[in-house]
Structure 1
Amino acid sequence: MDTLAATALPRSCLADRVGITPANLAVRKNGRAKAVRFTTLAALCEVLQCQPGDLLRWEPEPTHLRRSTGNTPVTGTRTPANTPAMSPPADRPPTGQEPVG
């Protein structure tokens, strides 16, 4: 967040204009934020007259924190917990298996 670090506005004034606490702003300014709401990002861009790419930087996750199953590449997406597992209906066998009988 070089744009954020380079602003001439005092931290308390910028935080007030964006609608976040000075402590929350410091976390973002120091690069320790794990996430940012779109509304906060939009407010920062509006106040600083910049684009999201001026404030954000992508860094790959350390390999020891990545979850992988076999050769499947890690995509970083998760299935919501309330989404039912994909399985064949009870009256039909799984694909590739013939019914017995």
Structure 2
Amino acid sequence: MSPVELIEGHRIEVLLDELLERRGMTLTELSHRVQISIVNLSILKTGKAKAMRFSTLTLLCDALGCQPGELLRYRSD
């Protein structure tokens, strides 16, 4: 994979669905807790986000009671 393909088609997965399910929490509830719109959380959840701020990652980890490594995974294909 070329560097350009890697940038455009990153291999970081956001495991938001899995964490929400394990916590028994909805995307709407998470949105209210972290004050991030459902639309932006959906972009993260579907893997369409190209970046995430550390402040956003911190809010998500606080609300979900998790570590960053539980929310993000590197896919090595």
Q: TM-score when scaled to structure 2?
A: 0.67
Aligned residue number for residue 31 of structure 1: 47
- Counterpart residue number, 2:17: 5
- Rg comparison, structure with higher value: 1
Identity, % of aligned positions: 44
Report the counterpart of residue 18 of structure 1 in structure 2. 34
Amino acid at match of 2:66: C
**More strand per residue: 1 or 2?**
2
* Structure 1 partner of 2:3: none
- SS of structure 2 residue aligned to 1:57: strand
Task: Letter of the 1:52 partner, please give it.
Answer: P
Higher relative contact order (CA 8 A, sep 6+): 2
TM-align CA RMSD: 1.5
Given the two structures, how large is their TM-score scaled by the length of structure 1?
0.52
Q: 5+ residue gaps in structure 2?
A: 1-13
User: Using the alignment, how far apart are the partners of 2:49 and 2:35 within structure 1?
Assistant: 16
- Aligned partner of 1:47 in structure 2 is 63
Question: Whose helix proportion is higher, 1 or 2?
Answer: 2
Report runs of 4+ in structure 1 exceeding 6 Å deviation.
none
Q: Distance in 2 between matches of 1:25 and 1:39?
A: 14
Give the match for residue 56 of structure 1: 72
